[in-house]
Structure 1
Amino acid sequence: MYQPKDSSLSPRFCGVRTFMRLEQITTTDNVDFVVAGVPFDTAASYRTGQRGGPQHIRNFSVLLRPYNPDQNINIFDYCSGVDYGDIDVIPGNIHRTYENIQNGLRPILEKNITPVIFGGDHSITLGTLRAFAEKFGPVALVLFDAHADTWDNYYGEKYMHGTPFRRAVEEGLIDVEHSIMVGMRGSLYGPDDMNETRELGFEVITMSEFRKIGLEEVMRRVHSRVGRHPAFISFDIDFVDPSFAPGTGTPEVCGATNVEAIECVRRLNGLNIKGFDLVEVLPTYDNGEITAVMAANVAHEMISLIALKKQAEQMERQHAVMNSSTPDK
């Protein structure tokens, strides 16, 4: 059973920085989840530096503790997890990086371990979705993001951080009928930009609509859309307003508050989630590390969802045993 080092016995400033002070070991034995970095950022269209995102999140995460009071669960009562380290990337070569992502995730997914992946820019998600589709078939995508990332190209290039979900649809990696995007906002080139995303088959809830209908209705729609289909959760830190998360490549005003963002993740509980990613954290613009605070806590909530799923499965097994041992009347 792998769990974090106890910070009441060992100071947080001691040791190598891993997520939540988990053991850093590349293993798929006796683990329920792994945290893995993909520090690739040469498909970004504006600011770069997202390659530093995985370690930036890890650096702050030493402050996190195993018990989540709002979800009323101690993660490591139900889960074993490790910091798997980083998947090797090839700077400037996105296609070889995609191959590395697929090869790196394959042994994890073969054992039904849930990965929590830290980017890197959002282009990495295409490689991740290729690995998930290989294991599960097309997955339902739940995207929290300021941008739909369904452009056809940037500068004539088809593989950039603004294009992964169009490519994923074209490759048949996403079950679009059960996929939903939340948080889109900001200026566009024209109305077709968002219309084309819907034409690809996605349900889209813009941030303006989010404000009108409220978080409860947003998450009801997420659950209704996804149902029990295998789901992948992608969280771009620019979903959050730059007043709460300035350290990102393409910030947009009028985003989610930190409370709204955390609540969105918490209320994913009950979905059939197979994996997560958290992308576009850019340390050089992160004043006071407030983006790292936000990102690390989002990741903590993601891992809490894994624990809640394990808890529910354990309770179902116990209930089945009790029913099977009850004599017929």
Structure 2
Amino acid sequence: MEEADLATLGQTRTKTQARLVGDIGGTHARFAIADANGRLDHVRVLRCAQFADPEQAIRHYLALTGLALPSTAAFGIANPVSGDEVVMTNHHWRFSVAALRAAIGLQRLLLLNDFTALALALPLLQVHERHAVGGGQIVTGAAIGVLGPGTGLGVSGLVAAAGHYVPLQGEGGHVTLAARNRREADVIDCLRQHDEHVSAERVLSGPGLIILHDALRAMAGQPAASLPSTEISARAIASTCPYCMEALHLFCALLGTVAADLALTLGARGGVYLGGGILGQLGRFFTRSAFRQRFEDKGRFSAYLAQIPTFIIDAPYAALSGAAIALESPLCIGYESTERAQ
């Protein structure tokens, strides 16, 4: 579905409270109107490929909803945000934050990494907006990790400081992918023939699943099948293709290892959360996969990791709420352009 609507989640609010929020990925751009507490109205999901730039997508959103433009906006984007110039890693959009703000007519525009926005929303998740994969118990106030495969691999987290959570702004999806056994080492060696650096994102993403599937076929002397990631997943779940099945099993296992590395790095005893656009579609395949076994498979620290819960996020628009929350933060999160600064 290229466009989706969501019923009102919050209460009626004044125009001065309203702000435009967005979650811009490599495939979809999600927009909504939010209040300061992250409650959302008028959610729409648009395909990025249908628009030349984010300005066109935003104007289309406003036309669809018939809404007036709020004076303030915050967008999470699947990209590093280190300054005014943004060049998307997994899409062709390239733009200036200040120029976008001025072109649309905003007084204030904040741009931040999409998984930083998602991390900010994690403390607000209700019990029904997540489900556990495996055991473990949340330690209140401890660090929290979040990662998720979609068009790329997003990674972030929250660390406690002076009684408050501070979101991380990193690019953990581009860490080097590590093998846990001989088969995985052989697969990574095969992938390295095409890409010298085999990052976690190179495999643990929608495009990565295709690359992984084709590598397994090549290792068996078979030609590439040119299957989309959704078809690979469908055939794996239906057990109709051995290459698809192995690809998806490897995908889940490798994700468990990367998630465990994040948990150890952060000391994420507050839990590790899994977002992105892929895992929710896998259903029982994922919960029955090797993900959790591999998450706990860390030798002397296996017992430590067994106590850390892992959750799949069931709130599809959590990053939009996080973007709204970022606007209220006293911290420097992302890059901001204001009318006063021009």
In the superposition, the TM-score normalised over structure 2's length comes to 0.31
As a proportion of its length, which structure holds more strand?
Answer: 2
RCO greater where, 1 or 2, for CA within 8 Å and sep 6 or more? 2
